[in-house]
Structure 1
Amino acid sequence: MSETREIRIKRLKMRSMRRGIKEMDLILQAFAARRLEAMTPGELDLYEALLDENDQDLYQWVTGQALPPAALAGLIQEISLTFQP
């Protein structure tokens, strides 16, 4: 039995807030709260793939210290705007 959209979003929100480094917990938790409900299934797939990445890499990508992989660049850009006015 596959999980419902509601369960999937709850699971992704939990994975967003329990990352390993506090900075990524805060960044991804805020992004997930603001954006996951409106994502398409394909966008959720991409976000889930992003959550499989290493926190140190994610942090460098989100803060602009390193270039993200092309497949994740748009999503990383959107996440990096989470705390901007």
Structure 2
Amino acid sequence: MNDNQPDSMELRLRRARYRADHRGTKEADLVVGGFFARHGADFDEAAMAWFEVVLQEQDVDILAWAFGTAEVPAHLDNDWMTLLKKLDYVEVTK
């Protein structure tokens, strides 16, 4: 691989960071983007694959799972989702 080219995981992390921060609603940006900012550096291949699936979901669904107002689908319900539901990573600035 060319030294100037990012590796596959680095590229996936960059794309995920952008998609997490640019959801379309401020609330989703805070939840999804905040979650990625806090935990993305710890993602291994399995966690990255999980997050990429989450990023394909609708904001309203992700927020409902995070706030506990809807049941998380079995294929997304894992330790990472438990961390997402904590919401301790959301930082609101004025």
Structure 2: how far apart are the matches of 1:30 and 1:54? 17
2:77 to 73, 80, 83: 73
Structure 1: how far apart are the matches of 2:87 and 2:35? 6
Please list every run of 5 or more consecutive structure 2 residues that lacks an aligned counterpart in the other structure.
1-6, 90-94
Structure 2: how far apart are the matches of 1:21 and 1:68? 20
Instruction: Write the mapping of 1:15-54 to structure 2, written as runs, cut at 5 A.
Output: 15-54=19-58
The structure having more radius of gyration, on CA atoms, is 2
Over the matched positions of the two proteins, sequence identity in percent amounts to: 29
Q: C-alpha displacement at 1:64, in angstroms?
A: 0.3
Structure 1 moving runs of 4+ over 4 Å? none
CA-atom RMSD in angstroms: 1.9
Please list every run of 5 or more consecutive structure 1 residues that lacks an aligned counterpart in the other structure.
none
Which range moved further: 69-78 or 45-54? Answer: 69-78
Deviations 1:19-76 (A, max 9, x none): 1221110011111111111111111001000100011111111100010101112232
**Would the aligned equivalents of 2:20 and 2:55 in 1 still touch at CA under 8 Å?**
yes
Structure 2: how far apart are the matches of 1:41 and 1:13? 15
**Would the aligned equivalents of 2:66 and 2:87 in 1 still touch at CA under 8 Å?**
no
TM-score (norm 2): 0.79
